[in-house]
Amino acid sequence: MGKPTGFLEYQRIEATYRPVAERIQDYQELLTKQDVDALQIQGARCMDCGVSFCHAGMLVEGQSIGCPLSNLIPETNDLVYHGSFAQAYERLRKTHPFPEFTCKVCPALCEGSCTVGEHGDAVAVKEIERFLVSWGEEHGLAGPRQPRLRTGKRVAVVGSGPAGLAAADGLNQRGEDVVVFERNDRPGGLLMYGIPNMKLDKDVIARRIATMETEGIVFKTGVEVGKDLSTDDLLRDFDAVVLAAGATAPRLLSVPGAELEGVALAVRFLTQATKRLLDADAPYEASLDAADKDVIVIGGGDTGTDCVATSIRQGARSVTQIEIMPEAPVQRPQNNPWPLWPRVLKTDYGQKEAIELFGSDPREYLTTVTEILGTNGMVSAVKTVKVEWVSKEGRLVPETVADSETTRPAQLVLIAMGFLGPEKTLIETLGLDTDPRGNVKTTSGSYYTGFPAVFSAGDMHRGQSLVVWALMEGRDAARQCHEYLNGRAYLK
């Protein structure tokens, strides 16, 4: 490395955000432009560790260690430090199909396993990646990459979320003719409609789709396979199929009053907000607008945060986020040692905005909803109770705390409780096997379903997960599908 002592000499820099008072007035991106010199110095903090876990890309007892894409992080950091930005960008693209997505929305699993971070502040890998993406775009390195040859094979990709896009890109670059089917009106899956614009500008996705089309990939939107296009026709017209339709079966709230108008799934709320932003004439449900309402968000995680932030931008009167789990510790617990991803308290952009606007953190931990009240069919309040987690028969379960019931005003209740797995229609139509969690089952160590020429990747295969895991699965499924079709790899 060019600066072996850099981690001792330089401090970590954090991403800089637009001021809260300014950014809550619009849906423009949160992050500000970076200082090139400062980011170059950040590359010097990479410490030339003997065994680097930042790009390990593995799970240990269900916990992540390093980047699932196995990005060549130490090499990239060193190139940035030496000012070899073009080489650094190309090094990043060797393993990463779409760094313009993860540099905005990834929690940076790499940083959680950074050796410097064991006893100090991790290298700002995500910020270096964001810099390289911006630099590459400005210097014409992010343009179309035409395949060197065509194999004559046709592959259908079902779903255009991160896994579907990565699979389509990998197959196309290996010479297959690729058609992507998306049931929504725009490609991108949850990248487009599940993540708000201020976190991932939709122009970023549109540019990538346009580039992929220039490279030869065909996108067919408004087509739901199994409904608008039969699976028989799909299997007849294509040499192989990659299923990447996501894990979109929601976890529902089973309490009295959940059917009232004004109670909605988080993705439905976020989808309407984004569609209205992109198209003023898009269908609109007033019951899904947070303006001048008391909003209750049920569930934590990124989606809950995005609901908080979007509600604030729509002019909510108040926002409360209900979480059944306890507040995470500030420091790593003993059962969560480095280099595992640190399960510690984080205050994300949405909570920070609520704190500044309303004067307190919107999150209420160890709390659950027991009933939703309504007036004339519209939600008007929710009843909540406090819980405590107790051990029963070897596992922790929540128990209600006596005399802790509270009734809260609410005119909009958003359910951000995650997803149970993929929808079943397509799986059942094809007669695919599923694992105990309902995900598409594949042969050990692969993405092959066992059904002739059908593969599966992303959340549909692994269950609800991060964008970076979906990208990895789509990328690797493309390689396996290509080898299945051609008997050997034309492009490693």
Q: Is the pLDDT of residue 431 over 90?
A: yes
Domain assignments of the chain as residue spans, ordered by start: 6-138, 154-249+420-486, 252-417
Q: What superfamily does domain 252-417 belong to in CATH?
A: FAD/NAD(P)-binding domain (3.50.50.60)
What percentage of the chain has pLDDT greater than the value 90? 92
Q: Where are the alpha helices (DSSP H) in 403-445?
A: 425-430
Model-level pTM greater than 0.85? yes
Q: Looking at per-residue confidence, does 49 or 188 come out higher?
A: 188
Q: Rounded mean pLDDT of 292-306?
A: 96
The backbone region for 412, taken as left when phi is positive above 0, alpha when psi lies in -120 to 50, beta otherwise, is: beta
CB 79 within 8 A of CB 97: no
Q: If we measure between CA atoms, which residue out of 449, 454, 424, 430 comes closest to residue 238?
A: 454
Q: Assign domain 154-249+420-486 to its CATH superfamily.
A: FAD/NAD(P)-binding domain (3.50.50.60)
The residue-averaged pLDDT of 23-40 equals: 94
154-249+420-486 and 252-417 in the same fold: yes
Q: What is the mean pLDDT of the chain?
A: 95
Distance (Å, whole) CA 84 – CA 117 = 25
- What is the rounded distance in angstroms from the CA atom of residue 47 to the CA atom of residue 473? 29
- What is the CATH code of the structural domain delimited by 6-138? 1.10.1060.10
pLDDT for res 1: 66
Q: For a pLDDT cut of 70, what percent of the chain falls above it? A: 99
Task: Give the C-alpha separation, 116 to 174, whole Å.
Answer: 38
pLDDT in tens, 55-67: 999 988 888 899 9
What is the rounded distance in angstroms from the CA atom of residue 143 to the CA atom of residue 220?
22
Would the pLDDT of 9 be above 60?
yes
pLDDT at 491 exceeding the cut of 50: no
117-151 pLDDT tens trace: 998 999 999 999 999 999 999 999 999 999 999 99
Give the confidence band of 492 by pLDDT, cuts at 50, 70, 90. very low
pLDDT digits (tens, 9 = 90+) for 55-98: 999 988 888 899 999 999 999 999 999 999 999 999 999 999 99
Q: What's the mean pLDDT in 262-277?
A: 97
pLDDT of 441 above 70: yes
- What residue has token string 């609520």? 354
